[in-house]
Chains A and B, each alone.
Chain A
Amino acid sequence: MLEIKNLHAKVDGEDIAILKGVNLKVNAGEIHAIMGPNGSGKSTLSKVVSGHPEYEVTEGEILFNGEDITEMDADERAHLGLFLAFQYPVEVPGITNRTLLREAFNTIARANDREELDPLEFEDYIESKLEVIDMKDEFLNRSINTGFSGGEKKKNEIFQMAVLNPVLSFLDETDSGLDIDALKVVSDGVNKIASADNAIVMITHYQRLLNYIKPHFVHVMMNGKIIKSGDIALAEALEANGYDQYEKELAVDGEA
């Protein structure tokens, strides 16, 4: 489904490389976790994949179902079924959740030659998605993330994911700032959405989230590269020993 080959990227207009040759392959039905210390480039990876204009790819490519999407605009990537759950969901005063989601849902439907939903049909559809994250419908009338608590913002990302039904989702530190109850609700929602037809890549600093959403693959990212891949045992080892051993290895390689 997703194939990232030797991806190098930097902040547009600056000279410092942040991604320095990322390779990653994700297939349908898989859940991946990318772990790494602060500044390792894992959040940047999710932004580059979703098409954030702040970053420039300097080398390598991103293939999505065989198609090269490296230079595509963010909306076109969304039309193909890519979704980014933001680490810091943006407050947008004056536009309600409902307005955004109807506009986004129908735009994506149009791009894929599917029928748009009229307001009444759409209403039934989103109502049915509210239960995924245990939300009341008044939530739909509120301006996007405006005045939301940290937990509500993260829930809203997963709610949007449920409504837009993406093929591939990047969840950027979706666990950060969540208390235990909210974490359960959010991971419950993600587990409900996960299926054999879609794939999820979780970006996280801690192993905590992985207790609730079980990944098939765990990757360690450091210094702009994925330096080790494995299964859940890798995450457990990280939790026990921290990132130090990898930092030392990198130092020996002369890269740190």
Chain B
Amino acid sequence: MSEVAQKETMLSFIDGEIISNAKTVAIKAINVRGQVALEETPFPTRKDEDWRFIDMSAIKKNKFSSVNDSNAAKIGDISKHFLPEALNTRLVFVNGIYNEELSSISELPHHVIVGNMTEFGDHDAVKEHLGNITNFEDDVFAPFNDAAFEDAAFIYLPEETSVDAPIHILNLFTDAENAFYATPRLLFVGEMYSKATIIEEHIGLADNVYLNVPVTEFRLFTGAHVHHARIQRDSKSAIHVSRPIAMLDRNAEYHSYTICLGAKLFRNDPRVIQNDAEVDFTVDGLVLIDGDQIADTHSILDHRFPHGNSHQLHKVVVNDNAHSIFNGKIFVAKDAQKIDSFQENRNLLLSDNGTVHTKPQLEIFADDVRCSHGATIGHLNNDEVFYLHSRGLTEQKSRELLVYAFALESVESMEVKSVEKLLLNEVIKYTTRD
């Protein structure tokens, strides 16, 4: 029995076969590679160390199928989701399918590419980099995306170019008739000394059940600087499993912020790989969950060369029966000396029934490094509540203000004003829900 169970793969949980509709050779090759990996890799269970606290069997129960695209046309006015700073640097994908009408790309420097990959499938950067850094052992979700994606966001910055406006990758999910899966894909290639800000958003337009499995690949060459904000506002019934990966060459900087607000089940495995000396990166997160939401972040900061700085602040607020999991791995290879890495996970529990699991995991093989980590789990401090309360604020307002202050730190690092405002509103909405 158990042997049969172990052989269950993602493919057996999906309704129908995954059919490759790739329009280019490069995408086709990745589709095939994904299909093969899926056939060979067992689906994770809670017996697997990395999946101990999150039960993915909901994927099996739902029998997700490929998207029934007919609803995409009826999504209505979604212009409120457009960012004023990115009116002409926006790609929109509906249920993972590129939507040209809603997208708007016009203000780009010469030779910069922001578009649907199928139109640029023969580009050298696609041929060379697509799928190169997302290939992890025993993983089924990146291969699932590999196998199923057809359209993809492709961003290419030639040497010494910088895009001033933030590039908005807007992934929308509709209230389709079937429980569908979507596989948004993003490949970013920044050549030497290029610079850009990417806002990757996932928005569920209704409260339906769907499976969102995005993969983002960021390949940064020497001196490339990138800010990458990821805002997850999926439907509260959705399942979201993310694989955002970045690889950095010398003097590259990659600063990422993941904000988790939606989804019933959220699993995020960010990974940053230091591919040469002297890099700088951030992998921050803010998780605001309530109800029965589960948010699980398994991150890897992978220092393979000397002189790297990394910083990770993962903040979590848990209300009701919600459950947060954080597993933060920091790898420092044997010869990767002079690494300076800092990891902090701060959890705020607002209810008696919320759950938090946190585990720093440092694997350091070099002897001259500075790596520190810390984790705290706590309720709101009663002295702080009373202090505000005694100044005339209601107890509820005092609590809201303290939660807001806790979350604010992560939001303040947003460089795009409208995104900062949007997130502040989300934080207020979260704290004042009663």
Contacts and interface: CB of A to CB of B under 8 A. Distances in A.
B390 interface: yes
Interface residues of B, number: 21
Given A94-B405, A94-B408, A95-B401, A103 B393 contact: yes
Interface string B364-386: 00000000000000000101101
A94 B397 CA distance: 15
B402 interface: yes
Most buried by A among B386, B390, B404, B405: B390
Contacts of A100: 388, 391, 401
Nearest to A144: B387
B390 A92 contact: no
Contacts of A84: 390
Most buried by A among B388, B401, B402, B404: B388
A104 B408 CA distance: 20
Contacts of B404: 94-95
B389 A90 contact: no
Interface stretch (A21-29, A74-82, A184-192, A245-253): A74-82
Nearest to A108: B392
Interface string A132-144: 0000000000011
B386 to A, nearest CB: 6
Most buried by B among A74, A143, A144: A74
A78 B393 CA distance: 9
B394 interface: yes
A107 interface: yes
Contacts of A78: 390-392
Contacts of B390: 50-52, 74-75, 77-78, 84
A20 to B, nearest CB: 24
A93 interface: yes
B363 interface: no
Interface in A65-109: 73-75, 77-79, 84, 86, 89-95, 99-100, 103-104, 107-108
B408 A79 contact: no
A37 B278 CA distance: 61
A7 interface: no
A247 to B, nearest CB: 32
A90 B392 contact: no
Nearest to B408: A94
Interface in B388-433: 388-395, 397, 401-402, 404-406, 408-409
A75 B387 contact: no
A53 interface: yes
A145 B164 CA distance: 38
Contacts of B408: 94
Interface in A14-56: 50-53
B393 A107 contact: yes
A164 interface: yes
Nearest to A99: B401
A84 B390 CA distance: 7
A160 interface: yes
A77 B391 CA distance: 9
A52 B392 CA distance: 13
Given A90-B384, A103-B397, A95 B405 contact: yes
Contact of B386 (A52, A94, A103, A160): A52
Nearest to B412: A94
Contacts of A92: 384, 387-388, 402, 405
Contact of B387 (A73, A79, A86, A103): A86
A73 B405 contact: no
Contacts of A108: 392
B395 A75 contact: yes
A75 B392 contact: yes
B378 to A, nearest CB: 13
Contact of B394 (A75, A91, A164): A75
Most buried by A among B386, B397, B409: B386
A84 B392 CA distance: 11
A179 B395 CA distance: 35
B64 to A, nearest CB: 40
Contacts of B395: 73, 75
A75 B393 contact: yes
Contacts of B392: 75, 78-79, 104, 107-108, 111, 164
A79 B402 CA distance: 21
A144 B383 CA distance: 13
Nearest to B401: A95
A164 B388 CA distance: 13
B386 A104 contact: no
A104 B406 contact: no
Interface in A150-165: 160, 164
A99 B405 CA distance: 11
Most buried by B among A89, A95, A99, A144: A95
Most buried by A among B391, B393, B402: B391
A40 B95 CA distance: 69
A147 to B, nearest CB: 15
A78 B397 CA distance: 14
18 contacts: A53-B386, A73-B395, A74-B386, A78-B390, A89-B387, A92-B388, A94-B404, A94-B405, A94-B406, A94-B408, A95-B388, A95-B404, A100-B391, A103-B397, A104-B393, A107-B397, A143-B405, A164-B391
Interface of B: 381, 383-384, 386-395, 397, 401-402, 404-406, 408-409
Interface of A: 50-53, 73-75, 77-79, 84, 86, 89-95, 99-100, 103-104, 107-108, 111, 143-144, 160, 164
Q: Closest 4 A-B residue pairs measured CB to CB? A: A94-B405, A78-B392, A90-B387, A104-B391
Given A86-B387, A104-B393, 14 more contacts: A51-B390, A74-B390, A75-B393, A90-B383, A90-B386, A92-B384, A93-B405, A94-B406, A103-B397, A104-B388, A104-B392, A107-B393, A143-B405, A164-B391
